[in-house]
Amino acid sequence: MRKVMQAALGASALALAMYGATAANAAEPPSGGDMPIIGGHDATETYSWMVSLSNGCGASLVAPQWIVTANHCGSASQGRIGSNSKNSGGESRQIDRRVTKPGTDLTVMHLTTPSTLAPVKMTQTNPAANSPVRLLGFGCMSWPSCRNATTLQEIDLTILPSGQCSAGGGTANDVCVSGDRTHSACHGDSGGPAVTGSRGNWTLVGETHGPGDNRGECATTTLYTGIAPHLTWINQQIGS
């Protein structure tokens, strides 16, 4: 996806959605988030740290009162945490402020009330090329005719060398994920997580940024802002 949703698009920006089960890429939404993963399937477990934002984007709970998302998602007034349903369940928390790291698509948002759910661990190193990665989101499940997901979607893809997302603006600090016409992230998945690990033991490695090439908004490789290169900054903001 092309840098999915600029900060200026604010709460109306579309969030990237996560697609299919091989390699996928997120598309850049013009506002808010309205798409789930293409080629994915209903989540096979409940992720206590998965967040659905009120503006359609995704996010990840990294501390009781802090979530990580994309700057291009703009502002959100609240988030639903730890539910596989976009519109019910889990915990609903209000958001009272956001802090963006200059020059990046990385934003942390503060919750007015701490979540009681378990946050996701954050990686200290970017994952190696050819290793497996899981994408999560409530974005478009099809493109260009978007069919939105109301149930959390997941897809298992592969980490690519960062240079393979250079056409989409990726650098060595970013995480590049494989994708194709039938397996990808898309609008509505913006700001959401890319994780490595196994059932019940996941580590956050990236947040959905946009398409990894210049071929289109969705159904391509996907570019994720790497968590590891910005971990010190994140911890400074959340007080860890």
What mean pLDDT is predicted for residues 166-186?
91
pLDDT of residue 85: 96
Same structural domain, 104 and 143: no
Q: Which domain holds residue 100?
A: 50-117+230-238
Same structural domain, 134 and 193: yes
Amino acid at 191: G
The pLDDT of residue 185 is above 50: yes
Same structural domain, 132 and 189: yes
Identify the burial level of 203 via C-beta atoms within 10 angstroms of its C-beta, where 0-12 means exposed, 13-18 middle and 19 or more buried. middle
The string of pLDDT tens digits covering residues 25-55 is: 333 333 333 334 788 999 999 999 999 999 9
Same structural domain, 169 and 212: yes
Residue 83 tokens read as 């539910």
Same structural domain, 126 and 211: yes
Is residue 76 domain-resident?
A: yes
* Number of Cβ within a 10 Å radius of residue 42: 10
DSSP state at residue 211? E
* Non-local CB neighbours of 23 within 8 Å, separated by 6+ positions: 157, 158, 160, 177, 178, 179, 180, 183, 184, 221
**Max alpha carbon distance in the chain (Å)?**
42
pLDDT of residue 194: 97
The pLDDT of residue 135 is above 90: yes
pLDDT of residue 4: 39
Same structural domain, 82 and 196: no
The string of pLDDT tens digits covering residues 84-114 is: 999 999 999 999 999 999 999 999 999 999 9
CA distances to 66, 126, 134, 173, 207 from 213, in Å: 31, 20, 20, 16, 17
Is residue 234 domain-resident?
A: yes
pLDDT of residue 240: 65
Same structural domain, 71 and 23: no
Same structural domain, 190 and 222: yes
Tell which residue, 95, 215, 203, 108, has the closest CA to residue 159.
203
First-to-last alpha carbon distance for the chain, in angstroms, is: 32
Question: What is the pLDDT of the chain when averaged over all its residues?
Answer: 85
> What's the structural domain count of the chain?
2
Whole-angstrom distance, CA of residue 25 vs CA of residue 52: 19
Is residue 56 domain-resident?
A: yes
Q: Could you tell me the pLDDT band of residue 142, with boundaries at 50, 70 and 90?
A: confident
Is residue 54 domain-resident?
A: yes
- Asked if 66 and 237 count as a contact pair (C-beta separation under 8 A), the reply is yes
Tokens 């503006």 sit on residue: 55
Is residue 5 domain-resident?
A: no
Same structural domain, 133 and 170: yes
Is residue 105 domain-resident?
A: yes
